[in-house]
Amino acid sequence: MDLPNALIDQLRATFGDAFVTDEAERLVYGYDNSRREALPDAVVFPTAHDQVVALVRACRAHKVPLTARGRGTNTTGASVPIAGGIVVSFERMNRVLAIDPANRLAVVEPGVLNADLQIALRSHALFWPPDPTSAPYCTIGGNLACNAGGPRAVKYGATRDNVLALRAVAGSGEEFRCGKPTTKGAAGYDLTRLLIGSEGTLAIVTEATLKLTPLPPAMRTMRASYADVESAAAAVARIMAQPATPCALEFLDGEALRLARTHGGDAIPNAGAMLLIEADGDEGTLDVAIAAISHAARGEGLIELTVAANAEEVTRLWAARKALSPALRTLSPKKINEDVVVPVSRIPELVSAMRDLSTRHALPIVCFGHAGNGNIHVNLLPRDDAELARADACLDEVFDVVIRLDGTLSGEHGIGLAKRDFMPRALDAGALALMQRIKDTFDPDGILNPGKLLPDRISP
Ligand SMILES: Cc1cc2nc3c(=O)[nH]c(=O)nc-3n(C[C@H](O)[C@H](O)[C@H](O)COP(=O)(O)OP(=O)(O)OC[C@H]3O[C@@H](n4cnc5c(N)ncnc54)[C@H](O)[C@@H]3O)c2cc1C
């Protein structure tokens, strides 16, 4: 689209050199980790909240699409500007504004990288729990918009559970603050939680007050391998049913282990399934927690249970998980990684259904992920064009299985472009209609990240 001249003049006046239209520069802001791309007409780099207010109001006045961008690491096309218009990159709004140990909170701009925040918090013996593997390259703004999480979510929750307040600008151009720097609050609708996971479709976040947690002084790692997925899933259920909550409870199916062995070697167990379990806390209480979790991990089908004695052994126990990503990439550069969620007790049904789909579509599928949350990464691994063609139909059936098992489309990656057409299957019609009306209220002209998260409107 051609940007209106009046808008260009206004943005030049507001942003100066931080408004770019050169094609070579725009190219860099048109893609994300989903491998989709679309060229924006301009990119702006705000450094202050007031600039974002001016930007949203100008875009609304001219009905020009506006897509927020952290570092483009999302996997769903959420930051690809498919309708053109303007990309607002938060890479220059990257200050940690305050760290307040007494109130266990930090105030940050949206462009702060997750890992940079964790480093800044370390000297205060605090951390922010969301721990995506992409932490060194992804922003807090992106974490908020996707409700990002990682292994620690089983104990500490994902992004939505670790935010106190936000400052934002709705698509209508209205600026607002929601939430408070307190851990309790009962005044009205919870707009903070509503914005988290909304993928930049309702409002642009310009500041976040994050809830911090004391760094546990010690951590232990253990690995349990099982004859089959059913035994491992039964162990997950037993572990989650007792009071010592692990801070990571990761699962790999037999196919994932077999592939990891091709890269990681004999240190990786030859088993039907494996759990990696971590517990954290005081040295004094950790022995008790480890004993309780080990007891729960033992049961029918257990082949081996090892507790790491030192840092070297921790690395050895994590070897299978670390070897997996390179192994998958080598086997299938076009792998499709879905992060579905099912109730924990239904993991065996999910994995068994994936084995059936793999046979029926003649397509390798491996499952691994955050078992304690029932958040399983189902990886479809097409090795050639014929398998790639079959992967689409297979993916359709993957989502049918997940919904039949009372699960949902995404545990942490979000919906973006990739999964929006499946939303009518995952949500009931009433909830979807309310979501559409919420979108219309926040963003009456539909300028914010158009074409994402919600399916196209069905005419009455
Ligand atoms: C190697 C790798 C590992 C990963 N591992 C994990 C993992 O373990 N767990 C996990 O949850 N995810 C993971 N991800 C996915 C991704 O890193 C996360 O979704 C992350 O939160 C995206 O952050 P980002 O800064 O890259 O945001 P982007 O990809 O740039 O944007 C993501 C969404 O956020 C919106 N957005 C960005 N900033 C704002 C803002 N200020 N206001 C409103 N909306 C905004 C965008 O419009 C878009 O909808 C991984 C990705 C990679 C590449």
Rounded to whole angstroms, the Cα distance separating 292 from 288 reads 6
Whether residue 281 has its Cβ less than 6 Å from ligand 1 = no
Average pLDDT over residues 242-271: 90
Whether 178 and 192 have beta carbons less than 8 Å apart is answered as: yes
d(CA 221, CA 306): 9
458 confidence band (pLDDT: 50, 70, 90): low
Q: To the nearest whole percent, how much of the chain has pLDDT over 70?
A: 99
**Ligand 1 closest atom vs CA 195:** 43
Please give the sequence-ordered ranges of beta strands (E in DSSP) within 54-128, or none if there are none. Answer: 66-69, 86-89, 96-100, 105-108, 126-127
> What atom in ligand 1 is closest to the CA of residue 113?
25
Task: Answer yes or no: is the C-beta of 373 below 6 A from any ligand 1 atom.
Answer: no
- Ligand 1 center to 216 CA (angstroms): 26
Q: What's the pLDDT band for 262 if we cut at 50, 70, 90?
A: confident
Query: How far apart, in Å, do the first and last CA atoms of the chain sit?
Result: 29
Q: If you average pLDDT over every residue of the chain, what do you get?
A: 95
Distance 35 CA to ligand 1 centre (A): 14
Q: Look up the pTM and report it.
A: 0.96
Residues 6+ apart with CB under 8 A from 44: 11, 15, 18, 19, 20, 51, 55, 86, 87, 88, 89
Q: Is the CB of 138 under 6 A from ligand 1?
A: yes
Please report, as a single letter, which amino acid is at residue 208. A
Closest ligand 1 atom to the C-alpha of 143? 21
pLDDT of residue 161: 98
Q: Is 230 in the pocket of ligand 1 (CB under 6 A)?
A: no
Rounded to 5 degrees, φ, ψ at 189 are -65, 150
CA distance readout (Å), 219 to 128, 252, 383, 452: 17, 21, 39, 39
Question: Radius of gyration (Cα) for the chain, nearest Å?
Answer: 23
Q: Is the separation of the CB atoms in 44 and 11 below 8 Å?
A: yes
Query: 105 — alpha (psi -120 to 50), left (phi > 0) or beta?
Result: beta
**Amino acid 259: pLDDT:** 87
Q: Which of 146, 176, 195, 338 to mutate to test the pocket of ligand 1 (most atoms within 8 A of CB)?
A: 146
> Is 33 a pocket residue for ligand 1 (Cβ < 6 Å)?
yes
Give me the count of residues in the chain.
Answer: 460
With a cut of 60, say whether residue 94 has pLDDT above it.
Answer: yes
| pLDDT reported for residue 387 | 92
- The helix-helix angle for 347-360 and 385-404 (nearest 10°) equals 150
Specify the pLDDT at position 322. Answer: 82
Choose between 37 and 316: higher pLDDT: 37
**Structure confidence at residue 175 (pLDDT):** 98
Mean pLDDT value across residues 168-179: 98
Going from the Cα of 160 to the center of ligand 1, the distance in angstroms, rounded, reads 14
Task: Assess whether the C-beta atom of 420 lies below 6 angstroms from ligand 1.
Answer: no
Is 67's C-beta closer than 6 angstroms to any atom of ligand 1?
yes
Question: What's the mean pLDDT in 185-207?
Answer: 97
- Ligand 1 near 146 CB (within 6 A): yes
Determine if ligand 1 sits within 6 Å of the CB of residue 198.
no
Q: What is the pLDDT confidence band of residue 459, given thresholds at 50, 70 and 90? A: low
pLDDT for residue 307: 93
32 lines ligand 1 (CB under 6 A): yes
Q: Is 398 in the pocket of ligand 1 (CB under 6 A)?
A: no
**Segments in 31-113 forming alpha helices (H):** 49-62
Q: Distance of alpha carbon 119 from its chain centroid, rounded?
A: 20
Distance CA 157, CA 228 (A): 28
Separation of 166 CA from ligand 1 center, angstroms?
A: 17
Compute the distance from residue 442 Cα to the ligand 1 centre, in Å: 22
Residue 293 CA to ligand 1 center (angstroms) comes to 32
Residue closest to 31 by CA, chosen among 63, 59, 73: 73
Beta strands in 90-245 (DSSP E): 96-100, 105-108, 126-127, 163-170, 175-179, 203-211, 213-214, 218-226
Share of the chain above pLDDT 90, in %: 88
pLDDT score for 4: 96
d(CA 147, ligand 1 centre) in Å:
9
Mean pLDDT of 70-77: 96
The protein residue with its alpha carbon nearest to ligand 1, atom 21, reads 143
The predicted-structure confidence for 284-326, as pLDDT tens digits, reads as follows: 899 999 999 999 999 999 999 999 989 888 888 888 888 888 7
pLDDT (mean) for 434-440: 97
Asked if pLDDT for residue 368 goes beyond 90, the answer is yes
- By alpha-carbon position, which residue is closest to atom 31 of ligand 1? 142
Q: What angle do CA 421, 32, 48 make, to 5 degrees?
A: 110
pLDDT per residue as tens digits for the range 332-349:
988 999 999 999 989 989
Q: Is 200 in the pocket of ligand 1 (CB under 6 A)?
A: yes
Q: Is the pLDDT of residue 84 over 90?
A: yes
Q: What's the confidence (pLDDT) of residue 326?
A: 79
What phi and psi values does residue 408 have, to the nearest 5 degrees?
Answer: -145, 175
Atom of ligand 1 nearest to the CA of 32: 29
